[in-house]
Amino acid sequence: MSAGETAVARANVQRKMADKPLVLVVDDESAICSSLAGVLKDENFETICASDGFEALAKVTEFQPDLVFLDIWMPGWDGIETLAKIKQAAPQTEVIMISGHATIANALEAIKRGAFDLIEKPFTIDTIVSTAAMALERRRTAKRNKANGEPETGFDEPRRRLFRHDGILSTGLKGRNLGQRTLRESVVLYGQGLHSGMKSGLVLEPLPKDSGIHFVQMGGASTVPVHVDFVESTGFATTIRSGAASAATIEHLMAALHAYRISNLLLKCNGEVPILDGSAAQFCKVIEATGIEEQGGDWFEIAVPEPIRIASGGSDTESLMIEPADVFSVSYELLYPAPVGRQDALFVMDGPEAFRDQVAPARTFGFMRDVEKLQRAGLAAGGRLDNFILIGEDRVINTELRFANELARHKILDIVGDMFLIGRPIRGAVRAVMTGHSDNVQLVKELRARL
């Protein structure tokens, strides 16, 4: 046995006897290395240190630590380079990035390359310990799933089952078998949350067949499936939640995934999907540029069995229904006071290109009179003149409309996204008059009840 093999065996025996996770701390500042290692030792971790990327990779290879705390800014290999080498040498070792000068781009690049999370200096003991605990829990889940032949995603079986059952295979509701799809590779988008105002990003990662679509907090361990059962709120946007995992303003992204028939995907964000320019156009561009991987298997569309109508808002001017049809379509009638007036639009899902050209570019909109009310409610903090249509008393204030009926088309965009909360593409004709997210979700729930 070589000296290296002897050291690995000795370390494994010691860790088994002590039942303590082994953590490697990597930082070119010795004071930070020693203080962080000391904190972790006090919290019942075994620790070793490295001062640069080269030494870190050597120790990862020799000792196979459970967890690595890795500084981004280091001489020689920087933290991102070192991260890539560590994940190649030890894929199941979790890595938490640390930095005093990180940007959202640094964080997203690290997550894309496999880091669990990024925490900023100066950090607190609670942050260090809680983040380490979540990272190790994800590692244990991945190892358990791998041993059981499950995808190493950390999704528990009840949530994965949501993707597969839903009664779709019952005879009267099963439409065409469209087959499953994911993206060919991971991709990152940057932006800002419309309602939170936080600078944010979005990572889209392929998932294996039969996984479904899930959101996860950046660096988080728990996920929330994109499914009507997990809708938390529909005030001005659609938000889903399961435990600590949540995602807000998901409807524009979901509309694009619906149109391109994406069935398996992991979506990482900081609690709210970036608003981008207020439409779904950028999501379509990203999907087309990244490419789609056909995964085969069963993925049946839902054929609406009979007309379903919901009572909408208690107003005679609002209505929403869906009825059997050969394809998916949405018609929308909108009636606001001047300067908007009446707008009508009809969209037929003849393929993703139709959605990309006719509906995706339509932007979200708001009225000047409602801005103060939204801000008092803690919403629209990220509203900017370039990411929504602002309507004043007598005109659109900040932009030229992309379509004469752009507002009605955007309402169709929201419906296409919210209807995908059923977990499958739908075959049916939707007719809507002056409705919103709450109505859309209620219709999905009614449809789900028929399953």
Instruction: Give me the active site residues, please.
Output: 437
Angle, vertex CA 325, rays to CA 323 and CA 326, nearest 5: 165
Q: Which two tokens stand for residue 145?
A: 């799933």
Give bridge partners of residue 50 from the DSSP assignment. Answer: 26
What are the φ/ψ torsions at residue 57 (nearest 5 degrees)?
-65, -40
Residues sharing a CB contact under 8 Å with residue 84, sequence separation 6 or more, in sequence order: 113, 114
Q: What does the alpha-carbon distance between residue 330 and residue 430 come to, in Å, rounded to a whole number?
A: 5
Q: Which two tokens stand for residue 150?
A: 């499950």
